[in-house]
Structure 1
Amino acid sequence: MIAFLAKRLAVGFATLLASSVIVFFVLEVLPGDPARIMLGMNASPETLAALRLEMGLDRPIPIRYLDWIMGLAIGDFGRSYTYSSTVMDLILERLGVSLPLAVIALTLSTLIAIPVGVFAAARRGRAADTITMGAAQVGVAIPNFWFALLLIYVFAVGLRLVPAGGFPGWGETLADNWQALKALILPAVALALPQAAILARVTRSAMVDVMGEDYIRTARAKGMPHRTVLWRHALRNALIPVLTIMGLQFAFLLAGTIIIENVFYLPGLGRLIFQAIIQRDLIVVEGVLMLLVATIILINLAVDICYALIDPRLRLSR
């Protein structure tokens, strides 16, 4: 197991390094001068040259990359010229919105998808299976931003149970935190249901494959209850593809919430990236992207560890 973890960490580090090269050089060769965009088209050449010097845009790209990657190594993501703040402070501030939102959405998605997938697999070929998977297909096809607007119209505008948008921030009292949590309920549901539809279909397919294995027939022949065979034996061995999808979904929920955060006007990482791209604040875009790449690598490592814990054959072979 130690050798496996060391190998995975080495691969993850190499992936992170390669990603840093791609992220930095792709963004640096994009058309448009960040200094001119920040100052406007009517800026004087002297002011433009001074800002380019302050931002380090006058230096060669390889030198700027080395300075940037060395800063990342010590936790210095640079300073945003648009927000007049360090990139790390911006990330930590926005992470207080995006991380709870992603965790809540993934929890809801898992609590919905796995029981639905097991239910459909246990009734394979019946009407319940067809109806359940048909509903899941509809969930996959519906765009999450349209579903978000529908939720706002019903629960925020019509029933007035939750706010339609905005985020009051986390406070020191329970009442303040409850208000902040209420602001994340609709966005979390809008994110969770389409992901739950995908995860339910994957769970159902994995369960159907496992239910045909010899050890499942042996367990049934021994007289084990159907519920025990289904949840204890079949589900555990079907979790490997499910965990893979869950890991990918968490990375998507953390990084791919740009549309939902704009619909609900949430100050999260997705909205930060969107605003930084519009304002050509490259140092912010680069820092957030590298943080997301590192997060995805760590999630994949955690998923691989879960593989070994769930299936002893994988642990012994490695």
Structure 2
Amino acid sequence: MLSYTLKRFLLIVPTLFCIILLNFLIVHLVPGGPVEQMLHRMELSAQEHKGGASSAVDFGQDAVVKELKQQFGLDQPLWKRFYIMLKHYLMFDFGKSYFRSESVTTLLINRLPVSLSLGFWSMMLMYLLAIPLGIQKAVRNGTCFDLWTSLIMMLSYAIPTFLFALLLMIFFAGGSFFSYFPIQGLFSWDWSRLSFWEKIKDYIWHLVLPVSAQVLTGFAALTLLTKNAFLEELSKQYIVAAKAFGFKFRTILFKHVFRNAMIVMMAHLPLTLFHVLFSGAFLVEMIFSLEGIGLLSYEAIGNRDYPVIFGSLYLFTLTGLVLHVISDLLYTWIDPRIHFEGKN
């Protein structure tokens, strides 16, 4: 088990290197880099100061471009930039944002609590909804209840997260129908003036719609996973024998089937966490203007802010790889009967 664990964690290094290299090449090949973005901003600023007239300064001059490239460190060869980036990333030094007056590490740390908050509550509600529903679908497999809930989950799985988010805003956040919930942000403008319990209420009030959008699109897969795990256990021989000995079905279900079926669900927990933190939350944070890592990454891509883009990608990739390994190892931690050494 120890050798397998070490091997899995060591494999993270070359995998992380290849993913970073691929992302580095793709991002740098995309036209309209940070120099072009800065030139465009300078030109717009100059036109505004001159009342919309054309700027007398040619911002495409070689001297200006050369100065900007030196400022952003883009005057060096591509391989050297990649080498310097890797050397700093080993120390979790992601550099400084091109268009913000903060380091990337500070930006990520400041935005991380919002993403963690959204992801934690979404994951909790997904499991609280998916596990009971999945058990009921397994017990009532083939009935009208199973059929109709499967249809609802197919629709839930097929509709993208951003569409659910927009629909919730239309219906419940001042759209064409009701105005029960705030349309953006995680706190009210007068947050600092509120009492402790009012702050908790305000925090929950702001989380209702974004968390609901996450849960509505994420619970379907977990529900089907739960159902399949329970159906597999219910079809095993020891269940047939227990029924023959006269054990009550409820006792069999919760004393034996539940424990074995939940191995799959618990092992899937890290992957669910990664999905709600970085995959689903990306669009939700954009739509509800939540100052999390998803929104930060989106703005960085639009601005071609390379340090923020690569810092976010590094964090996403490293977290995803580690959580995949943890998910794999959870099988053995939960059920010692499983051994990975035989796979080697």
Q: Which residue of 2 aligns with 1:314?
A: 338
User: If the length of structure 1 is used for normalisation, what is the TM-score?
Assistant: 0.91
3-state DSSP of counterpart to 2:214: helix
Structure 1 window deviating more from structure 2 (255-264 vs 88-97): it is: 255-264
Unmatched segments (≥5 aa) in structure 1? none
Query: RMSD over aligned Cα, in angstroms?
Result: 2.3
Structure 1 window deviating more from structure 2 (33-42 vs 60-69): it is: 33-42
Structure 1 window deviating more from structure 2 (193-202 vs 159-168): it is: 159-168
Contact 2:112/2:293 (8 A) holds in 1: yes
Matches within 5 A, 1:116-195: 116-157=133-174, 160-168=179-187, 174=196, 175-195=198-218
- 1:233-270 Cα offsets, whole Å, 9 max, x none, are 22333345444654333222211223211221111111
Q: Which residue of 2 aligns with 1:20?
A: 20
Q: Which residue of 2 aligns with 1:2?
A: 2
* Paired residues, number: 318
Unmatched segments (≥5 aa) in structure 2? 44-57
Note the C-alpha offset of 1:228: 2.9
3-state DSSP of counterpart to 2:207: helix
Q: Which residue of 2 aligns with 1:298?
A: 322
Contact 2:135/2:226 (8 A) holds in 1: yes
Counterparts of 2:245 and 2:317, CA distance in 1 = 48
Note the C-alpha offset of 1:184: 1.8
1:57 aligns with 2:74: yes
Counterparts of 2:277 and 2:156, CA distance in 1 = 20
Contact 1:199/1:246 (8 A) holds in 2: no
Note the C-alpha offset of 1:141: 2.1
Matches within 5 A, 1:194-205: 194-205=217-228
Note the C-alpha offset of 1:101: 0.3
Matches within 5 A, 1:102-117: 102-117=119-134
- Equivalent position amino acid for 1:14 in 2: P
Query: In terms of Rg, which structure is larger?
Result: 2
Contact 1:87/1:287 (8 A) holds in 2: yes
Structure 1 window deviating more from structure 2 (173-182 vs 290-299): it is: 173-182
Structure 1 window deviating more from structure 2 (42-51 vs 121-130): it is: 42-51
Structure 1 window deviating more from structure 2 (229-238 vs 73-82): it is: 229-238
Counterparts of 2:96 and 2:2, CA distance in 1 = 38
User: If the length of structure 2 is used for normalisation, what is the TM-score?
Assistant: 0.85
- 1:205-246 Cα offsets, whole Å, 9 max, x none, are 222222111122223333333223223322333345444654
Counterparts of 2:244 and 2:8, CA distance in 1 = 41
Matches within 5 A, 1:10-89: 10-40=10-40, 43=59, 44-89=61-106
Counterparts of 1:109 and 1:15, CA distance in 2 = 30
Structure 1 window deviating more from structure 2 (225-234 vs 263-272): it is: 225-234
Counterparts of 2:200 and 2:311, CA distance in 1 = 29
- Equivalent position amino acid for 1:9 in 2: F
Alpha-carbon spacing, 1:316–1:55, altered in 2? closer, same or farther (3 Å): closer
